Structures are given as structure tokens and as C-alpha cells.
Structure 1
Amino acid sequence: MPVKRTPLAAHLVRAHGARRLVLLSRRGGNAPEAGSFVRELEAAGAERVDLVAGDVADRDAVAAVLEGIHPGHPLTAVFHLAGVLDDGLVEGFTAERLHRVMAPKVQGARLLDELTERLDLAAFVLFSSAAGTLGTAGQSGYAAANATLDALAANRRKRGLAGLSLAFGLWEQAGVGMTAHLGKAELGRLRRQGIGALTLTEGLNALDVALARPETQLMPVRLELASLRHALGDAEAPPLLRDLLRRTTEGRGAEASEPAQSLDTRLADASEAERPAVLLDLVRSEVADVLGLPGPDSVPADRALRSLGIDSLTMVQLRKRLAKRLNTTLPATLVFDYPTAEAIAGLLLHDATTLRGNEK
């Protein structure tokens, strides 16, 4: 408690012998198919399942739930899964948006910590996120919230209390949950950041392993190092993943620098008439890579990139990649001012022509 309607509840019954569950969520028993969910848990072995409606960030609501637990069957374990996503660039964050992210995860965890402090809990498990450890694009608020959970688990251990923070990576899409809205572009971006998706079985197995270990914080995550290496090119790897990548990238220095050298060579060898096509191919290739599309042919030259699924985060990524490939500076409003691949290629051609003229 609190636990959302996820396979975790059934897993706790089947694999860990939980017999009485109190599941706190915003809709509680009013949630769709709540009755069938309870019957499923009872069929798995649960003796009693209470679905309670309430806000985990509301002190009175959480206190009422705890007070309603029968003293003959005291609370023995807490699993905190609550969370809300509100991704975006730091410049676009407001106090309201930050509160939206922090309240369920941080305030909820702090209330559970405070209100159960005197109970002899066997487990106090916080579902954190790899975003707080690795950092993921556009999730500064969410990363801060999850880093706070990691710190709370450590603080509980120092007080002699049960505490475990699990910084999970992405789970496979099942049409529900916080990441159900993610499309191919977002999932592709995560893969390029080195994050793959855990299957349900892998995620639950990771939980079982973590519960049996002594650490305060663990990070169950599927790493996609090959995708990360490809996305990095000759850029430096994130510090936390550097050692893992180093073992598979030793001796690849020349290969890593090949893309930029190849582009320089192509531009140098191309005639004035051929350079627009070279730059257009570059832009279409980078757009396809950023959006996780099959290849440059899937990016029409004259179609607005926003209609292909590019968002504020992938706009930034595209601008940085193009600027690095051409060793130039591009405007922050690149995709707004130059909405198609053809328009961006035209800007790059103008910059390259201007640069050559200045060099002469």
C-alpha cells in the first residue's frame, strides 16, 4: 500500500504470500473492472482486498487508510508506485507543473514514511526511476522527484527502518500506466539514450532479486548499449555508462570519427550543384534517426517535420546533431523557422556558402 492496479499486486500474492492487501489509488473501487481485479487477486490466494479511493499526497487521506487497517492484521509492507509524468524542457517548467510531478511521488512517499515510522515494517519499497540516476531528456522534474525517493530510502536505513528504492527503467508497453502514451519516436529516443524495455516477467523477477539483497538502492534496467554507442558517434559517453561502453569501443576511435570525416569529404568533393542534395540527405537521415524512422526515404523533403512526430525534445536533439555534424551553430527555433527537411538543408547550404566565402 499504496499499489496501483498492476500485475505487482497479483505477484505479491502468488510469489510472496501476501494475503491481505490495501490498494490506494485515486479511483479505488470505482476504477473500471475493479470487481474482476479483486476476484483475480482472491483466486490467486488473497484473503481480503480493499480498494480505497484517495490521494497519496493528502495527509488526511493516507492517515485514514492506515487507521482503517484492522489491528489484528497490522500493516507489514508498503509499496509506493504513485507517479505522474510531465515531460518538457526546463525553460517551460512552471511551479504548477513541478508540483504535478513532485506531489504524488515525493509528498506521497514522505507521508508514508512519516505515518508508518513507528510500525515494524518488513518492507518499504519505493518504485523510483532510472531517470533520477542516468538522467533522461526532458525529465528534469521527474528525475528530481525520483532522486528524492532514493535519498528517502537511504535516510530510512540510517534510522534503522526498512527502505529500498528501485530505480526502474522502462517496462514494455501494455496500453496502461504512465508510459502508455509513448510512441515510436519517444521509445526510439530512449533506446538511443541506452534504455530498453523490461518485459513484465523481467521486471517482476528483478523485484524478487532486489527484495533479497541488502542494498538500499538498485537500478533494474535493460541497457541498449549498441543503440547508445551508435547515437553517441564520437561524443563522450555518459559518466555512469562509460566503463560499460569502453570495453566494447576500445580500438574504435577511427571508426567513431568516420561519419563527420565522410561528410566533410562528400561536401568537399561535391560540386556546387550537388551540395544541396548532400545536405538534404544529411538532414533527412538525422531526422529519421531522431524519430526512429526506417531511413531517410521515410522523411519527405517538403513535409513539415512536426507532422512526422517531432516534438520539443527531438527538436533540440536534431539541432544539436546537425550542428555537431557541420561544426556550426544553429538557432534554437530551427524547426519553427525552417519546418521541413528541405528548408533546413537550405539554411545549412547558405551557412556553408557564407563560411567558404569568409574563408576566401
Structure 2
Amino acid sequence: MSLLKLREILTRWGTFLFVIFLSIVAVLVIVYIYGDQDLSKVNINDKAELLSWIYAGIMSLVAILTIFVTFSYEHKLIAATEILNSFYRPYTLSLEELRHGLIKYHSLTAKDRLLNYIYFILLLLSFLSFVFWGTIILIYSKFSILRLNGTLSVESIVDFGLYSFWFLMATIFILILFVINQSRNNKNPLTKGYLPIVNQLLDVDFISKQNIDISELLYKTCPIVELYSNPVENNLNSYELNIYFPIMMKNYRYVINIFNHNHEIIFKCYGTILDIFEVGMMHKESLDLLEDAFVSINENCYGEIKIYNQNLDALTRIRLTPEIKRDSVTFTPQRKVKISTHDNDKSILLQQESINIQYEKF
């Protein structure tokens, strides 16, 4: 087991395991200190009454567990899982539905302060219950668990029932804490594993390793390329290149090529977005553009964008079509294109000197 995996387990389960361990140690210490003391005889009716009390406590815990599972899993985690599944297979979703889903998913998977309070209160109650109920049962049974002689009697049967109910009570407490801690850590209720946080869903390196149609997702969130002619100032023309990312993602490595009708590259731009600022926000990258690049664009031109993961494997290749206006040209996604086995553009990202957008004229 790797250190990273061990740290993740301890982060999620460290407090839970520590309280269980501490409870067992506390009971063992009490048995060790008081196990040999001569206790007065306790009436069997009192033991039966204690059994009824423990049984009532167990039923109350079961009721609490049922209510918790119904409200927490049904309304929060299942809803988040449905959003996650639609995000991984976004065939029927529009861009705005994707954005809304991400924002809602972020809200559903955010840390619940009230749930944390409930969890730690139950941890404390569990510890006290293990120790106090265990001690009371040991006293009522005169620590008979330490002196089993094989004799079958009504009293020994009742003693066995006491220990059995205490063990059952402890098991139910542990199960309740287990379920609540699973919910605190956003356990996926439909499959194994945990729900990723929203920042992971917006991380190209992370989602490229998941069971996801990443080509479709990147197509739905494909950036728009705009070439713009600024108003003339002092008899000078100036042009700019704008790239609009409809949903900002991190570790987003891209190369954009603009071709003429002879399939020759007019210019290319490339860059890397390393982090996001806000969930679902749109992002814009801009830089100056040469005049001859702008005037070379016509209706027969087209563009392509390729997006890469951290290993510089192309995740998708999307064709862009131009929409020409008097003072601007906008390239929008048209369709996905088969990824070529020979890709010379990845070497550009290897040699990239800056994480910001860069531009090359051919």
C-alpha cells in the first residue's frame, strides 16, 4: 500500500478507528483492575430489566440509522451521483446544463458542517456507551466472562444474553458511525469508491483516467476562437486573437491550428491552463494578431483544436468552422475528427516556455 493511499485512509477513518480502539482498551483496563473483586449478588430480574433497556436502545439506534440513510443517501449522494454520471456521458446535455450541473454538484458534495457535528457527537456517545454499558454489564454479571466453567444455568444464560446484546449494541453503533463517515466522505451510493470533488471533475488529467467519454465532454466544452479587428486609431489597424473557454478547466493543454483552403497552416496558438478560479466560470485568453494573419482568413478556411493530458496524449481533435463578419471572424466547433497517429503538435507543448497562450504565424 502506497503512503498516499495510507494517508487517504487515515484522513477518512483515523478518528473513527481511534475511538473504537480507545473504547476497547478502556473496557479491558476496567476488567483488568476490577475483575477479581467480589461483587454482591445481583437479582436476575434486574438483569432482565437491563436486557430490555439495551434492546430499547438498539431499536432507537436502528430508527436513527433508517432516517439518516433515507434523507442523506436518497437526497444528497444519489442526486450527486446522477449528476456525475451525466457529466461522464454528456450526450444529451447542453453547455448550460453542464454548467448548472457542475454548480449543483459542487453544492451537493461540499462538506456538511451539521453532519460533521453529528458524527463527532456520535463518536463521543459511542465511546461512553462502550465503556459505561460494558462496565455495567460486567458488574451485573460479576465479571463472569472471565470465569467461564461450562456450567449451564439460568443465570449463565442471562449473562450470555447481556454480553450478546452489548456486542450487538456496539456493532450497531459502529455501523452507524461507518455509514455516517461514508457520507461525510461522499461515498458513491451506487458503485464502489467515492465521489470526486468538483475541482477533480474540472481537471483534464483526472478525468482522462476515469471511465468517461472525454472526447464528447471536451467537444461540449470546446473553446471558441475569435479574430477581431479593432477600431482604427491614428490611421493604424490593430488585431487581436481571443479564445473563449465556455467552462474553465485546469491542466488544459491545447493546440489550435488555422488552415487555408490548401490545408496549409496560416497560424497556430497553444497554451496551458493550470488552475481554475471558480466552478463553471467562462475564461478568456487574448493576444495581439498580425494583420496578414487576419486578412488571410476567408470562408474556405477552417481550424482544428487538439487537447492533451499530462502525458501529451491527444484526448480529442475537433474541427472548427469560420463565421465571417465585417470586423471579426469566429471559429466554432463543428464536429469531432479522428485523432491522427502522427502528431507533431505535442512537441510544441514540450518546448513551451510559458503556460500562457502563445502564437505562431506561418
Check whether TM > 0.5. Answer: no
Structure whose alpha-carbon radius of gyration is higher: 2
Report the TM-score, using the length of structure 1 for normalisation: 0.27
Instruction: Indicate the structure whose relative CO is greater, using CA pairs within 8 Å and at least 6 residues apart.
Output: 2
Report the TM-score, using the length of structure 2 for normalisation: 0.27
More strand per residue: 1 or 2? Answer: 2
More helix per residue: 1 or 2? Answer: 1
